[in-house]
Structure 1
Amino acid sequence: MKVVITGASGFLGWHTRLRLTARTDHEIVPVGRAEWPNLPALVRGADAVIHIAGVNRADSEEEVPAGNARLAEDLAKAITAKGAPLRVVYANSIQAGNGTPYGTGKDRAAHILHGAVSSVSGHFVDVRLPNIFGEHGRPKYNSFVATFVHATVVEESPSIKDNQVGLLHAQDAAASLIGGLITTSGTLTPEAEEHGVQEVWDLLQEFHATYVPTGEMPDLSTKFRVDLFNTYRAALFPKHYPLQLMPHSDARGSFVETVRCRGGEGQTSFSTTVPGVTRGEHYHLSKIERFAVMRGKATMELRKMFTDEVITFDADGDAPVAVDMPVGWVHNITNTGDETLFTQFWSHELFRPEDPDTFPEPVRQQEQRP
């Protein structure tokens, strides 16, 4: 299936594109601002559209509903110009129709798209999303969680008005949108998990109090804790890395703590790598993974999916360091020394062959290689 994703370069668009790439064989056509003028041609050749592009906030209150409607009208024109059945999955909101500028705009966009899809005898799936949070969200735009994460990293104290909020991680939202590609027409409402605003802030302070000074993993015993911790540590990358590991040495040799974790499951493994060989070349959707070089010299490389910049860390077993791989970033490790490299790997979950959460992808594209 050829799937157009509008808003592909935005927060939820990036997560949806990432999941589609990892979990399906669909041909993906990402559409951002640069590609928007070509929308009619792109839709003409597509089997389905996941419409995520929208306006959350703007300088004027009127621009929020107007902007969402305008984007929907552009897509509606492309749908009717195609003149053939098309499946459209719309990233709507549970706030649609609640009278706020955002809710009004989302509701208006839904009606515009539904009319266009019906006119070509297509399938329209309305996905009502709650508050979304996750890696690479923009503070003061995507969610209060993104704002709290930023405040935590820069050590500011925001004003907090506590109440219960339904939260859904961006990968779970993406899974619902992708599910709309195979469901019948209608409305999907993924279930949110209720959490207090103060609770979210307190958890972030718990993470920050130990992870930044010591590299210690927090309690990761629930999915929400894992999702929130992944969101938090993405905001620390790459400035906070590598993590310095403290050797405790005496006449017998050295002892180095590579991972401390306060709760949840976990798995440790190690590898040996001969000089010149590269391991990894994959990414994860949720797994927390730490690389620690114990002997030898190595280079770790990372690239955020759908971008070109490669970030590099050098490691030497004589001065042990660790790097925690952010989700959605392709990573590898290469033995750059003259002796066998010893690397320890830790992940927050046990390896499950039926669902390893490991997706192959080279860090360096062909044109990037020396």
Structure 2
Amino acid sequence: MVRICITGGFGFLGWHTACRLRALHGIEPVRLGRADVADPRRLAAAVSASDVVLHLAGVNRAEEPTAVEQGNINLADALAAALRASPRPVDVVYANSVHASLDNPYGRGKARAATLLADAARSTGGSFADVLLPNLFGEHGRAHYNSFVATFAAEVARGGSPVVTADREVGLLHVQQAAAALLDSVGDDEQRVVEGEPHLISGVLASLQATHALYAGRGEVPPLTTPFEVDLFNTYRAASFPQMWPVAPTVHADNRGALVEAVRSHGGTGQAFVSTTLPGMVRGDHYHLRKVERFMVVHGTAEIRLRRLLHDEVVSFTVTGSSPAYVDMPTLWVHNIRNIGDDELVTMFWSDQLLDPRDPDQYAERVDTT
């Protein structure tokens, strides 16, 4: 199995790339943080033990503009030294930017880093793939750092009213697609430009605000008719989790009994099913890359547990059919549901996708890591 090392492995793109490697390729990469890259011996040891280095570490913003330029150059310098110290060739894939051609601190720093890494990789017999990425967005981006989408999603999710100060069209790419492009470039020795999908900044904000109006407190699912709509919705859901869960729908009761609305979807496909679970039994223990999924207990008592992939902290909700409530499973969170009651558990599940047995978007992993 190929051995992969990721610089910037705990950042936004690094985490998503590690998740994709785990889900689709069964590979556990070595993830390096800033302290690892700053330590020449640790960095050299990691690079020497790898077949491929994905260089995702970078500096996007700093108080001093020169720190952005020099920061990206310094990171490349450190990796170049480790590549030259390796006893064998190592292939490099560089997460560059479409802004590398601009004459500003960020562009100059990213362009110079590409030159340094290309020279080091090729001089030792390795390949160098220079992947130019557009503006990235997706689940768990850092507000005010990774992208304006992350900032808008965080502010809208907590009920804020962000303002667009300079509207323009921006090419946007979901971070999982960026990770796919990087992994597809392993072994290539060329430059590759990945195009983003053009969207007005104001249009992105309007979509997030419309989603918030439907979803927050009401749990209504907005139209999910395009991949971009699904990706933007999952970005918003990550920003709203776990604080808005569980959601208790309105109970309509009369002399016949009670009725609750489980899902109201405003567009796209959907599939619902019901399961029974015996006392003490568990369902789930998996995660999804793109699927929107809802659990609603209609009889019995359950504990729903979730853990963000490649993290340790577990979020837990107790829900019961006597007080109907539902919880949506965010993408890239491992989840399960356990019957903690004394009688049979009846749960309704809904997802936005029709099940495709050839591509179920379901990856096995236990919530409990002990």
Give matches, 1:266-277, under 5 Å: 266-277=270-281
Q: CA deviation at 1:100?
A: 1.6
**1:151 corresponding residue in structure 2:** 155
Question: Are 1:253 and 2:257 counterparts?
Answer: yes
Runs of at least 4 residues off by over 4 Å: none
- The one-letter code matched in structure 2 to 1:345 is F
Mapped partners of 1:100, 1:34: distance in 2: 27
Matched residue of 1:140: which SS? coil
Cα root mean square deviation, aligned: 1.0
TM-score norm. by structure 1 comes to: 0.97
Instruction: Report if aligned partners of 2:47, 2:86 keep a CA contact under 8 Å in 1.
Output: yes
Q: CA deviation at 1:158?
A: 2.8
Matched residue of 1:218: which SS? coil
2:96 aligns with one of 71, 75, 92: 92
- The one-letter code matched in structure 2 to 1:137 is G
- The one-letter code matched in structure 1 to 2:204 is V
Question: Are 1:163 and 2:168 counterparts?
Answer: yes
Mapped partners of 2:81, 2:87: distance in 1: 10
Q: Residues 308-343 of structure 1: CA distance to partner in whole angstroms, max 9, x if unpaired? A: 111100000000111111111100000000111001
Structure 1 alignment gaps of length 5 or more? none
Question: Are 1:32 and 2:33 counterparts?
Answer: yes
Question: Are 1:346 and 2:350 counterparts?
Answer: yes
**2:139 corresponding residue in structure 1:** 135
**2:308 corresponding residue in structure 1:** 304
Mapped partners of 2:277, 2:28: distance in 1: 35
Instruction: Report if aligned partners of 2:138, 2:175 keep a CA contact under 8 Å in 1.
Output: yes
Q: CA deviation at 1:34?
A: 4.0
Q: CA deviation at 1:300?
A: 0.4
Mapped partners of 1:223, 1:40: distance in 2: 40
**1:313 corresponding residue in structure 2:** 317
Mapped partners of 1:31, 1:53: distance in 2: 9
Q: CA deviation at 1:213?
A: 2.8
The count of corresponding residues between Structure 1 and Structure 2 is 365
Mapped partners of 1:61, 1:185: distance in 2: 31
Once the two structures are aligned, what percentage of the paired residues are identical?
A: 50
Mapped partners of 1:148, 1:27: distance in 2: 32
Question: Are 1:188 and 2:192 counterparts?
Answer: yes
- The one-letter code matched in structure 1 to 2:322 is D
Give matches, 1:174-213, under 5 Å: 174-182=179-187, 184-213=188-217
Q: Residues 162-190 of structure 1: CA distance to partner in whole angstroms, max 9, x if unpaired? A: 111100000000000111124x2101222
**2:4 corresponding residue in structure 1:** 3
1:287 aligns with one of 266, 276, 291: 291
Matched residue of 2:296: which SS? strand
Q: Residues 195-244 of structure 1: CA distance to partner in whole angstroms, max 9, x if unpaired? A: 11110011011001111131100011111111001000100111111111
Q: CA deviation at 1:252?
A: 1.3
Q: CA deviation at 1:25?
A: 3.0
- The one-letter code matched in structure 1 to 2:318 is D
Q: Residues 48-92 of structure 1: CA distance to partner in whole angstroms, max 9, x if unpaired? A: 001100000011111001100111111101100004211100000
Matched residue of 2:161: which SS? coil
TM-score norm. by structure 2 comes to: 0.97
Mapped partners of 1:158, 1:267: distance in 2: 34
**1:241 corresponding residue in structure 2:** 245
1:324 aligns with one of 323, 328, 338: 328
